[in-house]
Chains A and B, each alone.
Chain A
Amino acid sequence: MYFSKEHVARHQLDSFNHFLTHNLQKVVNEQKVIETDIDARGKSREPVWVELGTITVEKPVVREADGSQGNLFPSEARLRNLTYAAPIYLTMTLMQGDARQEPFVANIGQLPVMVGSRKCNLWGLSDAERVAHGEDPLDPGGYFIINGTERVLMTLEDLASNKIMTEFTERYNERIYVAKVFSQYRGYRALVVVERNRKNLLEVSFPSVAGHLRFVDLMRGLGLVSDHDVVEAVSTDEEILTFMMQNLEESECDSVESGIMYVGKKLAPNQTRDYQKKRAEFVVDNYLLPHLNYLMPPNLKEEDEGYRQAVESVRLAKAHFLGRMAESCFDLVLQRRRIDDKDHYANKRLKLAGDLMEDLFRISLNRLTRDIKYQLERASMRHRDLSISTAVRADVLTERLLHPLATGNWVGGRTGVSQLLDRVDHMSVLSHLRRVISPLSRSQPHFEARDLHPTQWGRICPSETPEGPNCGLVKNFAQMVEISRGVDDENEVKRILYEMGVEQLKKEAA
């Protein structure tokens, strides 16, 4: 089994199949509705929105000049410089005020399909049938065909997100102890840093805040008011307690309100109090540890009842997370913990073809919804009847999906993500499909990152790496690598944890 031909590109296929079966719908569910500003535009207009339903992907087809359609096979796509892509259908329901129109299944564009994946026309075919369709039965698949060229999505290796990492940094010849987290939520990545300065004071910095915030005051703003709560969120350890005392002394706030205002003053100095408060809450909710925002129940709107409460509980979770960061920072100071090895493979996560397609599809769908919104609004301005079929322009999504695949310029400014499959010989094909690239810049030495790390045993091939500037940054999977996926349903994990006696975070009565 391990040495069967499916194994070579299995990670690519598995990842893409998972994207097709789960994540595609997940991305649609994230979007959920397309809201329009039609009610705000004119008088006596009802609000209009579109509800997004299930998404389905067909099998790859080719549309000829005479309008006929036929199944497309990879060999034909290669020979005729076609794109191996399948139409995507999305169920959409137009809502006008209380009136609900019939659900409409719209073709929203073409999704490039990985050769050999679940939606590939070769799926489930025998070797003989593959040969009949002009395909090499030994071809591993795992790549896309865009305008006739075979394109492989490179597996990207990145530092694990949402994980507390400790390290030293040198500033003015002084050692500064830092706990960092790359917090990631729906493609947005934010670096949150808690550091201990010379005077044992904790400082927090995160995107959109210039400079640092005092740890304790931020904690207060997040809802941990009493000194006891703040300290408890960090640690009950004696030594850490003394550090925390110093921090508490420096604190200038004594309530949630003043804590939030402290953040607001930093963010928008010389603005009105109302604006400062709004801005501070917005920033804290969106840019501070965004990965905890998954705790927000979906579909909860600002007007809804219980919204306030949900927001507060998320803030509380953030406060406790910051507390953990502070604790690990102090642990490092007290030498109870060593700096994290960034090259340890436990601290790495791989972004495979499916994850990349998910990122791409999210942005593209977003574009499409904006376009639909614009089309609906325009139609409404001209007093036409609104309909989904005229509002959906399939090219918008297709173009957005194809261009990054064809050029390798992925969303988020990454280049070289999709590469032309190296067909020099069979071995180079296999090697190319199993390549892993590191986002580290090749112009800097990065000696440690280029080293072969013992934790790569069994995961990354110890021998295969290019010579030259990319040495050690471009890697290849080991023969028997097995790529696991995160758990989709976290409730199960949570249930087990609670059964084991973990206490739930609750806001204690003040």
Chain B
Amino acid sequence: MPSPKRIGKIEFGLLSPKEIRKMSVRKIIWADTYDEDGYPYPQGLMDLNLGVIDPGLRCKTCDQKASDCPGHFGHIELAKPVIHVGYTRLIRKLLRATCRACGRLLLEAVEIERVIGTEEEATGDILKEKDIKKERLCPHCGEQQLKINFEKPTTFSEMWTEDGKKMEHKLTPADIRARLEKIPDDDLKLLGINPEVARPEWTILTVLPVPPVTMRPSIILENGQRSEDDLTHKLVDIIRINQRFKENQDAGAPHLIIEDLWELLQYHVTTYLDNEVAGCPPARHRSGRPLKTLSQRLKGKDGRFRGSLSGKRVNFSARTVISPDPNIGVTEVGVPLAVAREMTVPVRVTPFNLAEVKEYALNGPVRPTTTSPCGANYVIRPDNRRIRLSDQNLQATVDLVEPGWTVERQLRNGDIVLFNRQPSLHRMSIMAHRIRVMDGKTFRLNPAVCPPYNADFDGDEMNLHVPQTEEARAEAQILLSVQENILSPRFGGPIIGGIHDHVSGIFLLTHETHWFRKEMVLYLLMHHPMENLPEPGKVEDGVPYWSNKQIFSCILPTELNMVFRASSCESCDTCKKELCERDAYVKIFDGHLVAGTIDKKAIGAFDGQILHRVIRQYGMRRAADFIDDMTRLAIRSIMLDGFSFGIDDEDLPRTEQGQIRDVLETAASDVERRIKIFQDGQLEPMPGRTLDETLEMQIMQVLGKARDRTGEIAGRHLGLENSAVVMAVSGARGSMLNLTQMAGCIGQQSVRGERIIRGYDDRTLPHFRKGDRGSAAHGFIQNSYKSGLSPTEFFFHAIGGREGLVDTAVRTSQSGYLQRRMINALQDLKVAYDGTVRTTGGRIIQFRYGEDGTDPSKSSFGSPVDVKGIIESEIKEEV
């Protein structure tokens, strides 16, 4: 292995003709590739000096085989210089900025100083095209300057007026080259060009490098025909035209023909470099497909940079569907046996682990059940030879194993792996889990870790990677493991916590007070490792009872003190605290839940207050355990009574239905009334709005209120015995609005924030009168999902629904691009030891990280110190 080297600097410049000839191993003069026997022509495009692609042949330059020869450049001597399309803008700038006679900059020293500053105080700016006035006299030689016209892709011409007539003179690449040659080095520096590595005349090609055959291999089709690479095709064209050009030149052909050929050569060289230049028809293959030339190879998503260099395929990875398993820990991942059997971890054999490792190896590659000990798939000899273990060679190979060998052991429980779901939008999209080998064919994960991955189980697939080195494993464990990522660096709160049923379950358990007998308590706390049950809360008839709040307290760390309000809190004007009728005032005293209901605010992902406090006081490890305990408790308690929702849960009694009808009727007549006012011209416009807009806003408002009123009516009837209400109140899923729409009234459908107005002339649908501004004609849905929609209502609902679909579709594609741009802009920035944010070059981006020097993941919802929390836990009271 060659020793690692440090890169001192990289310099970008232009290849000079001299350099091109120096690096070339062969001058290419023949357009043909292979002769009849399929042997490359000497000095042809497939010359053996340029490297070999056919197995069996040896490179004439380096005498290596096809697999080892990297290939070597050749060159073509162009009959006349041609412009390199990539530099046309630079050429234009230089032609416009310098004198056509003497090549000096068209600025006097004073003018230059004005832009780039004096020698002592350089502004760091470079001269731009704009700094030079058009058509002036050269300050150095007094030559009259002409306007340089540039026509895409590669035509330059001079324009001037003579006797009132416009005159134009085309500049040939040779003319341009001659001019660029005249520009003195010192002037180039002012233009931001380093003449040592990039003399401007090198942008006009006189010699064309021929890339090695290894980067344009020909492929042999099924029928034995050779098919050449696009680059080779293009090079053939160039050589042919070049050859013809030379012949014509030598024969003294008329000027017109020479010019035509010159342009043709320019076209071929241009398309060879970039086949998508504006103003230039792309060169095509015989089939009509545009050729993929140099620039096309590099550009775009599947180009060399984004496709081949930034993106790579990896070994030691697995991918399959995910499914939930609430009984494994959040830090675990269930891995199917088939995956565990295939994926391996290398174990270096030492005298100390020899016996153990031999055991793995002896188990061999087969592993019948999840409980059987892990085997090994390969052993690697000290000379890096890999031997696949099979039943035949098992014993013999294992006998050879001794310190210095490496055994590729299969995965077993407790191995650390990286788990990932695309799109990887934040760092929590890749986390380290410990594996648990399981039956089945899916990866299993605890539903509590769904939020960071943004995963669900409707067919999502995830990837798993096995770190292969000790360093990688250490890094995975310390930086990437799930418990280290409970706190999101986005807002400093927990991103892993109870979701859906966990929240509903813990809500049902802890809401108000009910009592459990011992067997129930033990059932609920079955999975919680604890030595003793607390003292029973009450004893009735000699039977001990424990309260629901006591049960929850069992999983809380002792000495936890906090006070907060649950999601069901309605922020009353004066808080009744412990006496809250919604039981929304949560108080935890020394690890005992004294009052309040535990719900999303307490243990939910994104805003679990208890979780957050546990992390800050007891650390990540304890928090992960708490999540496990809490989710298990929640699942057990929701299963005590069961939890379901059906169509009859949306039923409302007649009285409520009548009330809803009344509300909607008054709303409709209110709308009519306002339309009347508008039509009578009595409507007062709101400031900054037209009459129409005012009316629309008023109607929207009236109808919005009516919808909310129906929701209230429905809500009055539906209490906590309704599962949907439980979910909405606890914050598990859904909202009261959803309930309103199911039981009360769906409400106004809108497109881009307005009522539905498009359609036929002056009306949305032919079902309405022309000019009808009423609620029903513009997408107000009186019915509920339960009562069913009328045909027009259904259609309006589809219109409103479509907008949502389109929005999500368009947004996902846009956010992806936004993310890519942001990552490209921010990558490689780091916080230096002095607290500044710097680029790899050491330039300062921010003087303090985030301007406040706070790591959001170590902050408490944004603030550096959780003062309130600290005081609370000390004085054990609300502040």
Binding site for B on A (CB under 8 A): 341, 343-344, 443, 445, 447, 450-455, 457, 462-463, 465, 467-469, 471-472
Q: How far is the CA of A196 from the CA of B799 in the complex (A)?
A: 35
Interchain CB contact (< 8 A) of A451 among B760, B765, B794, B802: B802
Do the beta carbons of B799 and A467 come within 8 Å of each other? Answer: no
Do the beta carbons of A454 and B805 come within 8 Å of each other? Answer: no
List 8 tightest A-B contacts by C-beta distance, closest first. Answer: A454-B759, A462-B798, A452-B802, A450-B806, A452-B799, A471-B809, A454-B764, A445-B810
Do the beta carbons of A472 and B759 come within 8 Å of each other? Answer: no
Contacts of B810 in A (CB 8 A): 445, 447
Q: Looking at the assembled complex, report how far the CB atom of A410 sits from the nearest CB atom of chain B, in whole angstroms.
A: 15
Do the beta carbons of A465 and B802 come within 8 Å of each other? Answer: yes
The A-contacting residues of B in range 728-777, CB under 8 angstroms, are 751-752, 756, 758-760, 764-766
Do the beta carbons of A454 and B760 come within 8 Å of each other? Answer: yes
Contacts of B798 in A (CB 8 A): 452, 462-463
Interchain CB contact (< 8 A) of A472 among B765, B802, B813: B802
Do the beta carbons of A457 and B765 come within 8 Å of each other? Answer: yes
Interchain CB contact (< 8 A) of A454 among B752, B795, B809, B813: B795
Do the beta carbons of A472 and B795 come within 8 Å of each other? Answer: no
Q: Looking at the assembled complex, report how far the CB atom of B836 sits from the nearest CB atom of chain A, in whole angstroms.
A: 40
10 contacts between A and B (CB under 8 A): A341-B758, A447-B810, A450-B802, A452-B798, A462-B798, A462-B799, A467-B805, A467-B808, A468-B809, A472-B805
Q: How far is the CA of A454 from the CA of B758 in the complex (A)?
A: 7
Do the beta carbons of A451 and B813 come within 8 Å of each other? Answer: no
Contacts of B766 in A (CB 8 A): 457
Interchain CB contact (< 8 A) of B795 among A344, A462, A465: A462
Residue of A nearest to B810 (CB): A445
Confirm or deny: B475 has a beta carbon within 8 angstroms of a beta carbon on chain A: no
Q: How far is the CA of A471 from the CA of B806 in the complex (A)?
A: 6
Binding site for A on B (CB under 8 A): 751-752, 756, 758-760, 764-766, 794-795, 798-799, 802-803, 805-806, 808-810, 813
Q: How far is the CA of A101 from the CA of B530 in the complex (A)?
A: 108
Contacts of B794 in A (CB 8 A): 462
**Chain B interface, >50% SS class:** helix
Residue of B nearest to A473 (CB): B806
Do the beta carbons of A453 and B809 come within 8 Å of each other? Answer: no
Do the beta carbons of B795 and A453 come within 8 Å of each other? Answer: no
Q: Looking at the assembled complex, report how far the CB atom of B798 sits from the nearest CB atom of chain A, in whole angstroms.
A: 4
Contacts of A454 in B (CB 8 A): 756, 758-760, 764-765, 795, 799
Residue of A nearest to B766 (CB): A457
Do the beta carbons of A451 and B805 come within 8 Å of each other? Answer: no
Do the beta carbons of B806 and A451 come within 8 Å of each other? Answer: yes
Residue of A nearest to B806 (CB): A450
Q: How far is the CA of A170 from the CA of B805 in the complex (A)?
A: 29
Q: Looking at the assembled complex, report how far the CB atom of B45 sits from the nearest CB atom of chain A, in whole angstroms.
A: 32
Q: How far is the CA of A363 from the CA of B700 in the complex (A)?
A: 55
Contacts of A443 in B (CB 8 A): 813
Contacts of A471 in B (CB 8 A): 802, 805-806, 809
Q: How far is the CA of A455 from the CA of B795 in the complex (A)?
A: 11
Do the beta carbons of B795 and A469 come within 8 Å of each other? Answer: no
Task: Taking A462-B802, A471-B805, A471-B809 as given, write out 16 further A-B residue pairs in contact, using a Cβ cutoff of 8 Å, ordered by the A residue number.
Answer: A451-B758, A451-B803, A452-B799, A454-B758, A454-B765, A454-B795, A455-B760, A457-B766, A457-B795, A462-B798, A465-B805, A467-B808, A467-B809, A468-B809, A472-B802, A472-B805
Q: How far is the CA of A468 from the CA of B760 in the complex (A)?
A: 28
Residue of A nearest to B792 (CB): A457
Q: How far is the CA of A455 from the CA of B761 in the complex (A)?
A: 10
Residue of B nearest to A470 (CB): B809
Q: Looking at the assembled complex, report how far the CB atom of B813 sits from the nearest CB atom of chain A, in whole angstroms.
A: 7
Do the beta carbons of A472 and B806 come within 8 Å of each other? Answer: yes
Q: How far is the CA of A95 from the CA of B514 in the complex (A)?
A: 105
Contacts of B751 in A (CB 8 A): 451
Q: How far is the CA of A468 from the CA of B756 in the complex (A)?
A: 23
Interchain CB contact (< 8 A) of B806 among A341, A343, A447, A457: A447
Q: Looking at the assembled complex, report how far the CB atom of A196 sits from the nearest CB atom of chain B, in whole angstroms.
A: 24
Q: Looking at the assembled complex, report how far the CB atom of B23 sits from the nearest CB atom of chain A, in whole angstroms.
A: 42
Residue of A nearest to B752 (CB): A447
Contacts of B764 in A (CB 8 A): 454
Residue of A nearest to B813 (CB): A469
Do the beta carbons of A455 and B759 come within 8 Å of each other? Answer: yes
Q: How far is the CA of A452 from the CA of B758 in the complex (A)?
A: 10
Contacts of B808 in A (CB 8 A): 467
Q: Looking at the assembled complex, report how far the CB atom of B156 sits from the nearest CB atom of chain A, in whole angstroms.
A: 22
Contacts of A455 in B (CB 8 A): 759-760
Q: Looking at the assembled complex, report how far the CB atom of B562 sits from the nearest CB atom of chain A, in whole angstroms.
A: 43
Contacts of B803 in A (CB 8 A): 451
Residue of B nearest to A450 (CB): B806
Contacts of A451 in B (CB 8 A): 751, 758, 799, 802-803, 806
Contacts of A467 in B (CB 8 A): 805, 808-809
Q: How far is the CA of A116 from the CA of B806 in the complex (A)?
A: 37
Residue of A nearest to B805 (CB): A471
Q: Looking at the assembled complex, report how far the CB atom of B568 sits from the nearest CB atom of chain A, in whole angstroms.
A: 34
Q: How far is the CA of A472 from the CA of B803 in the complex (A)?
A: 9
Interface centre among B759, B766, B799 (most CB of A within 10 A): B759
Residue of A nearest to B764 (CB): A454
Q: Looking at the assembled complex, report how far the CB atom of A74 sits from the nearest CB atom of chain B, in whole angstroms.
A: 32
Residue of B nearest to A461 (CB): B798
Contacts of B799 in A (CB 8 A): 451-452, 454, 462
Q: How far is the CA of A341 from the CA of B765 in the complex (A)?
A: 15
Q: How far is the CA of A165 from the CA of B799 in the complex (A)?
A: 25
Q: How far is the CA of A465 from the CA of B799 in the complex (A)?
A: 12
Residue of A nearest to B767 (CB): A457
Q: How far is the CA of A118 from the CA of B760 in the complex (A)?
A: 38
Q: Looking at the assembled complex, report how far the CB atom of A336 sits from the nearest CB atom of chain B, in whole angstroms.
A: 14
Interchain CB contact (< 8 A) of A469 among B752, B759, B809: B809
Q: How far is the CA of A450 from the CA of B766 in the complex (A)?
A: 21
Residue of B nearest to A444 (CB): B810
Contacts of B805 in A (CB 8 A): 465, 467, 471-472
Q: Looking at the assembled complex, report how far the CB atom of A160 sits from the nearest CB atom of chain B, in whole angstroms.
A: 16
Residue of A nearest to B800 (CB): A452
Q: How far is the CA of A26 from the CA of B201 in the complex (A)?
A: 63
Q: How far is the CA of A457 from the CA of B802 in the complex (A)?
A: 14
Q: Looking at the assembled complex, report how far the CB atom of B838 sits from the nearest CB atom of chain A, in whole angstroms.
A: 37
Q: How far is the CA of A443 from the CA of B810 in the complex (A)?
A: 9
Residue of A nearest to B779 (CB): A454
Q: Looking at the assembled complex, report how far the CB atom of A316 sits from the nearest CB atom of chain B, in whole angstroms.
A: 33
Q: Looking at the assembled complex, report how far the CB atom of B404 sits from the nearest CB atom of chain A, in whole angstroms.
A: 55
Residue of A nearest to B812 (CB): A468
Q: How far is the CA of A343 from the CA of B803 in the complex (A)?
A: 15
Residue of A nearest to B765 (CB): A454
Q: How far is the CA of A452 from the CA of B810 in the complex (A)?
A: 16
Residue of B nearest to A445 (CB): B810
Q: How far is the CA of A452 from the CA of B809 in the complex (A)?
A: 15
Q: Looking at the assembled complex, report how far the CB atom of B825 sits from the nearest CB atom of chain A, in whole angstroms.
A: 23
Interface centre among B756, B760, B765 (most CB of A within 10 A): B760
Residue of A nearest to B759 (CB): A454
Do the beta carbons of B809 and A343 come within 8 Å of each other? Answer: no
Contacts of A344 in B (CB 8 A): 760
Q: Looking at the assembled complex, report how far the CB atom of A399 sits from the nearest CB atom of chain B, in whole angstroms.
A: 15
Q: Looking at the assembled complex, report how far the CB atom of A387 sits from the nearest CB atom of chain B, in whole angstroms.
A: 33
Q: How far is the CA of A468 from the CA of B805 in the complex (A)?
A: 8
Q: Looking at the assembled complex, report how far the CB atom of B620 sits from the nearest CB atom of chain A, in whole angstroms.
A: 38
Q: Looking at the assembled complex, report how far the CB atom of B837 sits from the nearest CB atom of chain A, in whole angstroms.
A: 35
Contacts of A469 in B (CB 8 A): 809, 813
Do the beta carbons of B759 and A453 come within 8 Å of each other? Answer: yes
Q: How far is the CA of A469 from the CA of B808 in the complex (A)?
A: 9
Do the beta carbons of B795 and A343 come within 8 Å of each other? Answer: no
Q: Looking at the assembled complex, report how far the CB atom of B508 sits from the nearest CB atom of chain A, in whole angstroms.
A: 35
Interface centre among B759, B798, B806, B813 (most CB of A within 10 A): B806
Q: Looking at the assembled complex, report how far the CB atom of B804 sits from the nearest CB atom of chain A, in whole angstroms.
A: 10
Q: How far is the CA of A176 from the CA of B871 in the complex (A)?
A: 66
Residue of B nearest to A448 (CB): B758
Q: How far is the CA of A52 from the CA of B813 in the complex (A)?
A: 53
Contacts of A447 in B (CB 8 A): 752, 806, 810
Contacts of A452 in B (CB 8 A): 795, 798-799, 802
